[in-house]
């Protein structure tokens, strides 16, 4: 089964960049703590904040690729 990357890219246009920035920031934070270098930890924190701010970047078409299922309103589990 092949993954359709085009459809996912429409729904989550910045997902790959968020993951890359998170991994970079997390690795730098751990390295800075292990090496006891505060400036590396500060740079890592800035990268993690940048990764969070990518969430608010405009992009995509603003429409769902496919509608979700109808919610069950019967009250039965």
Average pLDDT of the segment spanning 30-59: 92
Flag whether 21 is in a domain: yes
Flag whether 1 is in a domain: no
Flag whether 50 is in a domain: yes
Flag whether 7 is in a domain: no
The domain of 39 spans 12-56
Flag whether 72 is in a domain: no
For the chain, the domain total comes to 1
pLDDT of residue 33: 96
Flag whether 3 is in a domain: no
* pLDDT at residue 1 greater than cutoff 90: no
DSSP states of 54-70 as a string?
GGG---S-SS-SSPPPP
Give CA–CA dist 46/44, Å, rounded.
5
Q: What is the pTM of this model?
A: 0.61
Give CA–CA dist 10/64, Å, rounded.
8
């Amino acid at each position: 089964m092949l993954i359709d990357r085009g459809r996912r890219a429409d729904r989550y246009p910045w997902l790959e960049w968020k993951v890359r920035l998170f991994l970079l920031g997390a690795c730098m934070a751990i390295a800075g703590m292990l090496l006891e270098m505060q400036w590396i930890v500060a740079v890592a924190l800035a990268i993690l904040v940048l990764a969070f701010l990518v969430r608010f970047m405009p992009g995509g078409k603003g429409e769902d690729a496919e509608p979700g299922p109808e919610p069950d309103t019967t009250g039965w589990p």
